[in-house]
């Protein structure tokens, strides 16, 4: 890849260029990201970012759509990196389907954006600024961007959900609520599709770049506002807009730029949709894991559906349920000691120790692996008790399995406003959350 990239950069930048650095960056479950340092024969240095589809999964049309989105966004005043080079209608031999962008200064890691003292002054102003940027995005000319999808979002999401696993009661309840309460469309515009904390470059001067346009499509502009407010993208902060601040400031910025004030109830609908959409994306990524080099991350993401269930039930107004299911104490260790969870805890500590002295990619993977071992250890300790408790509780509702309850919700035979049904659905979701991420509340 390095030789082909060097040839391309020399062609598009002019003169003779060499690549001093080409480094794979961590993160990115669906597309590779590489940091490049290019140096001209005269000593000029360009810091660049390469985004490309993994070999064997190239989609040149989607790359062309993303590159054109960057171009059109820049035209409407959205801060974005400059696209330096891109693949054509077909993947380029030796590189694949890709685009190369200028490297923009700023921080993208959500935890740093939310906690760094250096960003204290700018953080409070971000919701208003994000509102203005979203209004500019929604002014983009959809005709200037090829291959831009246009679909019914709820039908599309349901089809993806059905294709990626067994039915889940909490997710079925969310689909039913969204169908019953769907508001009229507020318009048809360019939608970024993944506008959130984590896809923004920010420094002390404000937002320097909006990244990751690969999910852009034509749709209701309020989808972007709801996605930004989805709890997943708050990263533990209590503030609803990406963890930065209030919806009022977001809406004010949007209105000042566009002349139209968002309807909070419509944005709420899209926030519910966003939580459900993230659940489906988690299922999709986990189902794509076998054989993928990011298998650890993809499988771990699959367990994050439990967080989405918790968020959706909160949004739907289902009261918390205090599930006191606990494993019965084993007086006889029939399978030997140390217990399984003790063994797994020891392996987890070892994985972290080995990863701490490795390269950045391996350190990241070691943390993901340790997280997965924690899930397995917690599940080993509670699984028998949870299975028996909910076998009995499901039978009390007339169902032999959770999937049957989920299909009952889909058919309208079981409703979330029935307290007994709601308690079982909430209890199942909370049991999964205690295993997947007990700190998530």
Q: Using 50, 70 and 90 to split pLDDT, how confident is the model at 345?
A: confident
Residue-level pLDDT at 67: 94
Residue range 398-411: mean pLDDT, rounded: 97
Residue range 371-375: mean pLDDT, rounded: 93
Residue range 217-245: mean pLDDT, rounded: 97
Distance CA 98, CA 77 (A): 24
Residue-level pLDDT at 335: 72
Higher-pLDDT residue of 221 and 55 is 221
Residue 328 has pLDDT above 60, yes or no: no
pLDDT in tens, 261-288: 999 999 999 999 999 999 999 999 888 7
Q: Using 50, 70 and 90 to split pLDDT, how confident is the model at 94?
A: confident
Residue-level pLDDT at 289: 61
Cα 384 from chain centre: 31
Distance CA 437, CA 162 (A): 25
Residue 363 has pLDDT above 90, yes or no: no
Residue 321 has pLDDT above 80, yes or no: no
- Which DSSP symbol is given to 231? G
**Secondary structure E strands in 159-247:** 189-191, 200-203, 206-210, 217-219
Residue-level pLDDT at 323: 65
Residue-level pLDDT at 2: 86
Residue range 98-106: mean pLDDT, rounded: 93
pLDDT in tens, 145-189: 999 999 999 999 999 999 999 999 999 999 999 999 999 999 999
Residue-level pLDDT at 47: 95
Rg for the chain (alpha carbons), in Å?
24
Distance CA 72, CA 78 (A): 9
Q: Are 291 and 190 in contact (CB under 8 A)?
A: no
Distance CA 206, CA 165 (A): 41
Residue 331 has pLDDT above 80, yes or no: no
Residue range 372-377: mean pLDDT, rounded: 93
Higher-pLDDT residue of 329 and 316 is 316
Residues linked to residue 241 through DSSP beta bridges, in sequence order: 245
- Which DSSP symbol is given to 143? G
Residue 330 has pLDDT above 60, yes or no: no
Residue-level pLDDT at 92: 87
Residue range 401-426: mean pLDDT, rounded: 96
Residue-level pLDDT at 154: 98
**Range scoring the smallest mean pLDDT among 243-252, 279-288, 422-431:** 279-288
- Which DSSP symbol is given to 106? S
Residue 108 has pLDDT above 70, yes or no: yes
3-state secondary structure of 380: helix
First to last CA, the chain: 45
3-state secondary structure of 262: coil
Distance CA 40, CA 44 (A): 5
Distances (CA, A) of 194 to 96, 148, 163, 164: 24, 14, 22, 20
Q: Using 50, 70 and 90 to split pLDDT, how confident is the model at 309?
A: very high
Residue 242 has pLDDT above 60, yes or no: yes
Average pLDDT of the residues of the chain? 92
Residue-level pLDDT at 135: 98
Residue range 215-238: mean pLDDT, rounded: 97
Share of the chain above pLDDT 70, in %: 95
Residue 27 has pLDDT above 70, yes or no: no
Residue-level pLDDT at 141: 98
Q: Are 60 and 96 in contact (CB under 8 A)?
A: no
Residue-level pLDDT at 56: 81
3-state secondary structure of 316: coil
pTM of structure: 0.93
């Amino acid at each position: 890849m390095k030789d082909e990239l060097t040839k391309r950069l020399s062609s598009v930048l002019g003169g003779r260029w060499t690549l001093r650095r080409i480094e794979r960056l961590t993160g990115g479950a669906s597309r590779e990201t590489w940091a490049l340092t290019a140096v001209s024969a005269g000593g000029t240095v360009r810091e660049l970012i390469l985004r490309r589809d993994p070999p064997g999964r190239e989609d040149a049309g989607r790359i062309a759509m993303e590159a054109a989105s960057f171009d059109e966004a820049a035209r409407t005043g959205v801060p974005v990196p400059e696209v330096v080079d891109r693949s054509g209608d077909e993947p380029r031999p030796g590189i694949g389907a890709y685009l190369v962008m200028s490297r923009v200064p700023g921080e993208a890691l959500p935890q740093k954006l939310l906690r760094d003292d250096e960003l204290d002054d700018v953080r409070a102003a971000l919701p208003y600024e994000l509102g203005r940027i979203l209004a500019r995005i929604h002014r983009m000319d959809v005709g200037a961007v090829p291959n831009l999808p246009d679909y019914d979002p709820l039908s599309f999401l349901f089809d993806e959900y059905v294709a990626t696993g067994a039915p889940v009661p909490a997710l079925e309840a969310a689909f039913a609520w969204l169908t019953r309460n769907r508001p009229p469309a507020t318009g048809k515009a360019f939608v970024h599709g993944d506008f959130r904390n984590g896809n923004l470059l920010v420094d002390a001067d404000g937002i320097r770049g909006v990244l990751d346009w690969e999910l852009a499509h034509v749709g209701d502009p309020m989808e972007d506002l709801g996605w930004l407010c989805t709890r997943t993208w708050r990263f533990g902060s209590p503030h609803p807009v990406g963890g930065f601040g209030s919806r009022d400031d977001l809406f004010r910025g949007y209105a000042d730029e566009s002349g139209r004030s968002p309807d909070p109830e419509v944005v709420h609908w899209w926030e519910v949709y966003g939580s459900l959409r993230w659940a489906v994306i988690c299922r999709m990524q986990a189902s794509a894991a076998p054989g993928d080099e990011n298998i650890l991350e993809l499988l771990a993401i699959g367990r994050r559906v439990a967080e989405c269930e918790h968020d959706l039930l909160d949004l739907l107004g289902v009261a918390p349920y205090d599930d006191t299911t606990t494993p019965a104490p084993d007086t006889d260790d029939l399978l030997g000691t140390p217990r399984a969870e003790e063994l797994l805890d020891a392996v987890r500590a070892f994985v972290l120790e080995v990863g701490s002295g490795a390269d950045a990619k391996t350190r990241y993977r070691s943390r993901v692996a340790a997280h997965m071992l924690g899930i397995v250890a917690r599940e080993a300790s509670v699984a028998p008790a949870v299975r028996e408790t909910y076998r009995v509780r499901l039978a009390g509702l007339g169902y032999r399995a959770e999937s049957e309850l989920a299909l009952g919700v889909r058919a309208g035979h079981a409703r979330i406003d029935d307290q007994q049904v709601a308690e079982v659905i909430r209890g199942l979701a909370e049991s999964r959350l205690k295993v997947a991420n007990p700190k998530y509340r």
